[in-house]
Each structure stands twice: as structure tokens, then as C-alpha cells.
Structure 1
Amino acid sequence: MGTFRIKRIYDAPASTDGKRVLVDRIWPRGVSKESAKLDLWLKEIAPSTGLRKWFDHDPARFEEFSDRYCEELKANSEAVSELCDLADQGDVTLLYAARDSRVNHAVVLAELLEQNDVQSE
């Protein structure tokens, strides 16, 4: 099984990225589909619009955001399974547009995928 990495969509693609998957619900501003070099845009795995707006990239809300997003992921087994299937083929880079590399949904998603803690029971 491959590993999950995270990377800003604005960073240049690299040969070590493996499969490149955009995990944002909204297409990133200023990025062309050609320059993104995506293998998949999995917007269904992004936080819900309501959760995203509530969070508003506020570091003080990140812990609660993480908990809420984890619950959303557990209810979204189809999209999670799609990422796990990709990882069975090799490394997967989860791409996001947020400015903060430590306080964003891709961090939460990658941690859960690595822990294999998102499969619904």
C-alpha cells in the first residue's frame, strides 16, 4: 500500500507525487486544469459547505473542525474507499488550496487515511 502525502495545489507537480488528487470542493483560484496535472478531483471528500464556512480557516476552531470533519468522513465511505483503492496502487498526494499547511482539511484527511480510521462500521 502506498502512502498519503499532502501538498498545496500551487506547488509544482513532482514525479514523487504518485496519484495527484484534489480534495477541495471548490476549484482553486488561478490554477488551470492543465497545470494541476490531476489524476482525480474528489470534491465529494471535502468538508461540507456548512462546515467549511463555519471553520473559516480559524486555527482556534481547528480541533472542533477536525472532529466534525472526521464524522463527515465516516459517513462518506464511498469517497474514502476510492482514495484507499488508489493507495493500493501506490502513493497518493492529496492536493489542497488553503494557505496554512498545518491547519486545513487535507491534514485531517491524510492522518485518518494513514490510521485507516475512516471505514464506517
Structure 2
Amino acid sequence: MKRIIVKRIYEPPNQQDGYRVLIDKIWPRGISKEDAELDEWLKEIAPSPDLRKWFDHRDDRFEEFSKKYQKELSENHEEVIIELNKKREKHQICLLYGAKNTQSNHAKVLKEYLENN
């Protein structure tokens, strides 16, 4: 399996990114579709609106958010996880997100989940 990297959508794309996948439910502000240089937009794999609102990008809730998001992934997104891991057989995957917090975000949780499933 190839690597998975995590990157903010606001960082410039480069050739080392590999297969670029936006994993936010809502399109990020200030980024055109051309500038994003996406291979795929998987909005369905983003955390549910209720979970995202509850989390509110608070570091003190990240551990609990991670558990809840992993539960959502296992219960609702098995096919998408399988497809992403199939892509990893040929390509490095770059998970793109728009959140300002680079340490506590759903992309990091998804990366860990993909690597372990």
C-alpha cells in the first residue's frame, strides 16, 4: 500500500501529493475547482453535520470526536473505505481538508482509520 498524506486544501498542490481527495462536506471558501486540482471530492465521507457541529474544532473534544467519527466510518462508509484503500494500491492518497486546526481534524482521524482497515 502507498502512503496517505494529510494536507490543507489551501496549501498549493504539488506533484508529490498523488491522488488528491477533498474530504469536506462543504466546498472550502476562496478555492476554485481549478485551483484545487482534485482527483475526487468525497463529501459523503465527512463527519455528519451533527458530529461536526458538536466537535466545533475544540481540542478538548478531539479524542471523543475521533471515536464517534470512526464509528460513523465503520457503520456508514465501508464501501468508500474499501475504494480508497484500493486506490492506495497504485497511488499515494492526499486527504484534503479546509479546517484551520492542523492538529485536531477529521482528516487525521480518517488517515488513521484507512491505515488500520
| TM-score category, normalised to shorter length | over 0.9
Aligned to 1:21: 21
Identity of aligned pairs, percent?
54
2:102 corresponds to 1:101 = yes
2:69 corresponds to 1:69 = yes
Which string of whole-angstrom CA distances, capped at 9 and with x for unpartnered residues, describes residues 23-81 of structure 1?
Answer: 00110011000000000000111000110011000111100000000000001101111
Aligned residues: 116
Deviation of the 1:110 alpha carbon = 0.3
Residue identity in the other structure for 1:8: R
- Structure 1 unaligned residues grouped into runs of 5+: 117-121
- 1:49-64 mapped onto 2 (5 Å cutoff): 49-64=49-64
Question: What's the TM-score once normalised by structure 1's chain length?
Answer: 0.93
Query: Secondary structure of the residue that 1:85 maps to in structure 2?
Result: helix
Q: Using the alignment, how far apart are the partners of 1:11 and 1:87 within structure 2?
A: 22
C-alpha root-mean-square deviation of aligned residues, in Å?
Answer: 0.7
Residue identity in the other structure for 2:43: K
Runs in 1 of length 4+ with deviation above 3 angstroms? none
- Structure 2 unaligned residues grouped into runs of 5+: none
Question: What's the TM-score once normalised by structure 2's chain length?
Answer: 0.96
